[in-house]
Amino acid sequence: MSLMKSVSNSSEHTQVDPLASPGQFDLTADVDFSHVIDQLQRHLCVFGPIGQGTFLKEMHLEVRVKQLLKNCKDDAEKRTLESAVRTLTHPDEMGEKFKVSQMFF
């Protein structure tokens, strides 16, 4: 797999060269975590992976969101927060695409 296929970089929802402008954009890498976890399980206690949305909900994200919503200045700020939460947790957004694993000695 080439670097350009396994590492991506985007700016305003447009894919750009991941080596262009280092430090200016978030990088995303497609990693075969099943292989990593198989190797680590020999030495560590590994839980997961689970979807980011499931993880955040199990960490009681809604409690934090309720507090943040109370502190929003206006409806526009509330909508922005609600949209961000949806992006992070919804299965069709980042909620299932991104995974969380925990590893302990």
pLDDT at 42 exceeding the cut of 70: yes
pLDDT of residue 64: 97
Please tell me the predicted confidence (pLDDT) of residue 4: 46
Q: Enumerate the domain spans of the chain.
A: 45-104
Q: For the whole model, what pTM was predicted?
A: 0.69
Q: What separation in angstroms does the CA of 34 have from each of 47, 87, 104, 105?
A: 12, 25, 17, 18
2 — pLDDT class (breaks 50, 70, 90): very low
Q: pLDDT band at 68, cuts 50/70/90? A: very high
Report the C-alpha gap between 90 and 51 in whole angstroms.
10
Which tens digits make up the pLDDT trace of 88-99? 999 999 999 898
CA atoms within 13 A on the CB side of 46: 17
Number of Cα atoms under 13 Å in the Cβ half of residue 14: 3
Checking if the pLDDT of 62 tops 90, the result is yes
Do the beta carbons of residue 94 and residue 88 sit within 8 Å? yes
